[in-house]
A = this chain, B = another copy of it.
């Protein structure tokens, strides 16, 4: 190779300016990670506050990045809800861990795009490798093939699309128009992304059937059976069933083995939503919760939830990758490559053509923590959740509303002085009071028709001190409810 052409006329930010700013960013990030626990978790801003503070039009002439970084610190950061805060307990809490952040930084620097093998050999093969590493960790057989999507919503969309492809042999040519009406089943506790996938894929609300749950908030398999049987009698076509291992509302566990038997009996595609729960399968004593999921056709597990990986990173495992490819592969001339026969082209596995190098951050996370380090950390989260669950169980004015098999506790403030509706309002107010303190952040859900609060523990900075303080804040807020209303 001859000596490379000069890049003197580089029109980008000059490299040495970049270097200086990148070091500033490195320090800022380290300071942020070290100090985020002292920031308010939830900012005290109102809708529109951030936007109105910033210039409403782009600059005509370029500006110094120093000014942009200043605005970032002065306006953007104070307007953030801090997902990295040790007392962030909302939604599904998560961790952008140090190793994961370093992986993201390098992925941004490389800016490769693994559409086809040739466009990024390392990007493609590291994605294959790391998907297989996680498969081994969670104990799935090697018949499962994994690809990385952005979010669980996308992964589930792809899974249901594969189910649809399997159910309607002439779908690719004919589309959905003349097909027998199909049905997708999931428990009434299943994630909204399943309904969204059903709508996107053209099943309609009438093609999506929620199955009732038992007192554990797990799918009732006998109900599922009778719904399927009735649907068949009505001339409808059962297409797929989704079992959730760790629902968003309360981390309820569907009886996946029995659901799998039913899916097999009726020829349905079984998709398992373990987006949050999946990593718990790495922990030996929690593995039994997942018994039977190996019979699934597809499984989603999100390392960006409970596996210390920055958003976005969602693994879709599929036991029938050829069906997924049949559903999604469209290869134009400008993307044909001679390696087609031997190298994997990740664009064939889904909607997105462009593909960030997400595998890098997950590889760093799995290497730095290792299997044992992950097990230890997940155990610590489960232990914190059990401790909180015990406190709730021991408190007469609180009631736990669901089992807490993983790292999330759902509970409700109760009082004989108030009726159910008043208690709903009280629980909302308690949550807003705790969130308004800036010391902790939690979100709510509805269980059996009643408002409940959720504490989701999945951040590596979260210690017993944070959980205990949040419990104190909840109790204080509840006391003032009784004071106000009693």
Q: Is residue A383 within 8 Å, beta carbon to beta carbon, of the partner chain?
A: no
Q: Tell me whether B177 and A353 are in contact (CB under 8 A).
A: no
- Give the residue name and chain of the B residue nearest to A43 (CB): B121
Q: Is residue A439 within 8 Å, beta carbon to beta carbon, of the partner chain?
A: yes
Which residues of chain B are within 8 angstroms of A360 by Cβ–Cβ distance?
72, 76
Q: Is residue A21 within 8 Å, beta carbon to beta carbon, of the partner chain?
A: yes
Q: Which residues of A120-171 have CB atoms within 8 Å of chain B's CB atoms?
A: 120-123, 125-126, 128-129, 132-134, 136-137, 150-154, 157, 161, 164, 171
Of A82, A181, A204, most buried by chain B (CB within 10 Å of CB) is A204
Q: Tell me whether A372 and B119 are in contact (CB under 8 A).
A: no
Total identical chains: 2
The answer to whether residues A367 and B19 also contact, given A109-B29, A311-B354 and a CB cut-off of 8 A, is no
* Interchain nearest-CB distance for A306 vs B (Å): 13
Q: Tell me whether A61 and B373 are in contact (CB under 8 A).
A: yes
Q: Tell me whether B206 and A175 are in contact (CB under 8 A).
A: yes
Q: Tell me whether A122 and B76 are in contact (CB under 8 A).
A: yes
- Alpha-carbon distance A272/B438, docked complex (angstroms): 44
Encode A423-437 as 1/0 by CB contact (under 8 A) with B: 000000000100001
Q: Is residue A233 within 8 Å, beta carbon to beta carbon, of the partner chain?
A: no
Partner of A96, one of B110, B171, B176: B110
Which residues of chain B are within 8 angstroms of A104 by Cβ–Cβ distance?
104-105, 107-108
Q: Tell me whether A33 and B11 are in contact (CB under 8 A).
A: no
Q: Tell me whether B370 and A153 are in contact (CB under 8 A).
A: no
Which residues of chain B are within 8 angstroms of A372 by Cβ–Cβ distance?
60-62
Q: Is residue A4 within 8 Å, beta carbon to beta carbon, of the partner chain?
A: yes
Q: Tell me whether A33 and B368 are in contact (CB under 8 A).
A: no
Partner of A62, one of B43, B202, B368: B368
The answer to whether residues A150 and B352 also contact, given A98-B13, A125-B51 and a CB cut-off of 8 A, is yes
Q: Tell me whether A96 and B122 are in contact (CB under 8 A).
A: no
Partner of A11, one of B57, B61, B377, B445: B377
* Interchain nearest-CB distance for A279 vs B (Å): 13
Q: Which residues of A450-472 have CB atoms within 8 Å of chain B's CB atoms?
A: 454, 460-461, 463, 465-466, 469
Q: Tell me whether B175 and A367 are in contact (CB under 8 A).
A: no
Which residues of chain B are within 8 angstroms of A203 by Cβ–Cβ distance?
175-176
Encode A82-104 as 1/0 by CB contact (under 8 A) with B: 11101100110011111111101
* Interchain nearest-CB distance for A117 vs B (Å): 6
Of A202, A249, A308, most buried by chain B (CB within 10 Å of CB) is A202
- Give the residue name and chain of the B residue nearest to A195 (CB): B330
- Give the residue name and chain of the B residue nearest to A17 (CB): B98
Q: Is residue A328 within 8 Å, beta carbon to beta carbon, of the partner chain?
A: yes
Q: Tell me whether A330 and B68 are in contact (CB under 8 A).
A: no
Q: Tell me whether A136 and B1 are in contact (CB under 8 A).
A: no
Encode A16-59 as 1/0 by CB contact (under 8 A) with B: 11110111011111101110011010110111111100101111
Q: Tell me whether A6 and B465 are in contact (CB under 8 A).
A: yes
Q: Tell me whether A47 and B121 are in contact (CB under 8 A).
A: yes
* Interchain nearest-CB distance for A465 vs B (Å): 4
- Alpha-carbon distance A22/B22, docked complex (angstroms): 9
Q: Which residues of A167-216 have CB atoms within 8 Å of chain B's CB atoms?
A: 171-182, 191-193, 195-197, 199-207
Which residues of chain B are within 8 angstroms of A336 by Cβ–Cβ distance?
444
Encode A67-83 as 1/0 by CB contact (under 8 A) with B: 11100100111011111
Which residues of chain B are within 8 angstroms of A101 by Cβ–Cβ distance?
18, 22, 105, 108-109, 111
Which residues of chain B are within 8 angstroms of A438 by Cβ–Cβ distance?
1
- Alpha-carbon distance A54/B132, docked complex (angstroms): 12
The answer to whether residues A172 and B199 also contact, given A23-B23, A30-B18, A354-B153 and a CB cut-off of 8 A, is yes
Q: Is residue A475 within 8 Å, beta carbon to beta carbon, of the partner chain?
A: no
Q: Is residue A290 within 8 Å, beta carbon to beta carbon, of the partner chain?
A: no
Q: Tell me whether B333 and A249 are in contact (CB under 8 A).
A: yes
Q: Tell me whether A105 and B22 are in contact (CB under 8 A).
A: yes
Of the A-B pairs whose beta carbons lie under 8 Å apart in the complex, a sample of 15, sorted by A's number, is A12-B33, A21-B102, A22-B29, A28-B109, A80-B121, A81-B112, A81-B118, A152-B354, A153-B353, A173-B206, A175-B199, A177-B182, A199-B330, A200-B201, A200-B328
**Assuming A5-B465, A47-B339, what are 7 further A-B pairs, CB within 8 angstroms?**
A18-B102, A32-B109, A49-B125, A65-B102, A157-B351, A200-B328, A333-B445
